[in-house]
Amino acid sequence: MVDWDVYLVTQASLSAGRTTDEIVADAIDGGVGVVQLREKDRTARERYELGLELRERTREAGVTFVVNDRIDLAQALDADGVHLGDDDLPVPVARELLGDDALIGRSVSTVEDAQEAASAGADYLGVGAVFATGSKDDIDDEEYAIGTDRVAAIAEAVDVPFVGIGGITAENAPEVVDAGADGVAVITEITRADDPAAATEALHSAVEQGR
């Protein structure tokens, strides 16, 4: 069983000088359910080295560990799964390579994409960007924010679990969950927080509030 409530996507370059290992340790203290190794600006070798630490930490804590984009890295790190976007290998290929037990996530922003990803065998979806975000280079504009009405439409259309992502804070998280998301995925609400453990706890409370 995966705890979708609070899903941390790592990015050291957005972590106010702290290492991703420190942020993840704090998020685990705060009760994070899923950790995704992202670190877009790192080499495969650097992600692998960091991933070894995160795999150990998450395994000890019973937290789900997912690798962004790279199926090979997910395999090398014995991760619980992989998160795939439009530029990554298709879900059925990932399933073939990782097997039935792997957790395969897919990014979507429309009802049609969500239905297609679910039909292709995705175990969960990352739906967004829900709100404007400066954390992803290719979607830093207000016009790409899908809003909570789209979240609600996707909740109506598919049965697979999904997390909202993009510009989510403890303040707006209840709205995202109320619209039908199973949890919230964040980078900066945790990585930029003065106290990442407290920020994780606050997101937990916000998710509960939205239910």
Ligand X SMILES: Cc1ncsc1CCOP(=O)(O)O
Q: Any known ligand binding at 106? A: no
107 in catalytic set: yes
Q: Which is nearer to ligand LCLJCK34, 13 or 195 (CB)?
A: 13
Name the one residue in this structure whose structure tokens are 């065998």: 121
Residue 15 binding partner per list Mg ion, ligand LCLJCK34, ligand X, none, with a CB distance cut-off of 5 to 8 Å that depends on partner kind:
none
Cis peptide before 129 (omega within 30 of 0): yes
- Answer yes or no whether residue 185 interacts with ligand LCLJCK34 by CB under 6 A: yes
CA gap 58, 153 in Å, rounded: 33
- Answer yes or no whether residue 69 interacts with Mg ion by CB under 5 A: yes
Q: How many residues bind ligand LCLJCK34 (CB under 6 A)?
A: 17
CA gap 108, 154 in Å, rounded: 10
- Answer yes or no whether residue 107 interacts with ligand LCLJCK34 by CB under 6 A: yes
Nearest distance from C-beta of residue 68 to ligand LCLJCK34, angstroms: 5
Pure H helices in 30-172: 44-61, 71-76, 91-98, 111-120, 147-157
Name the one residue in this structure whose structure tokens are 């739906």: 127
- Answer yes or no whether residue 207 interacts with ligand X by CB under 6 A: no
Nearest distance from C-beta of residue 187 to ligand X, angstroms: 4
CA gap 162, 130 in Å, rounded: 12
Name the one residue in this structure whose structure tokens are 């705890």: 3
CA gap 165, 15 in Å, rounded: 17
Q: Any known ligand binding at 107? A: yes
Please give the residues from 158 up to 177 whose contact with ligand LCLJCK34 meets the rule CB under 6 A. 163, 165
Residue 163 binding partner per list Mg ion, ligand LCLJCK34, ligand X, none, with a CB distance cut-off of 5 to 8 Å that depends on partner kind:
ligand LCLJCK34
- Dihedral of the CA atoms 163, 195, 191, 20 (nearest 10)? -110
Paired sense of beta strands 183-186 and 6-9, if any: parallel
- Report the interface residues with Mg ion, using CB under 5 A: 69, 85
Instruction: List active site positions.
Output: 38, 107, 136
Interface residue list for ligand LCLJCK34 (CB under 6 A): 7, 9, 36, 38, 40, 68-69, 83, 85, 105, 107, 126, 128, 136, 163, 165, 185
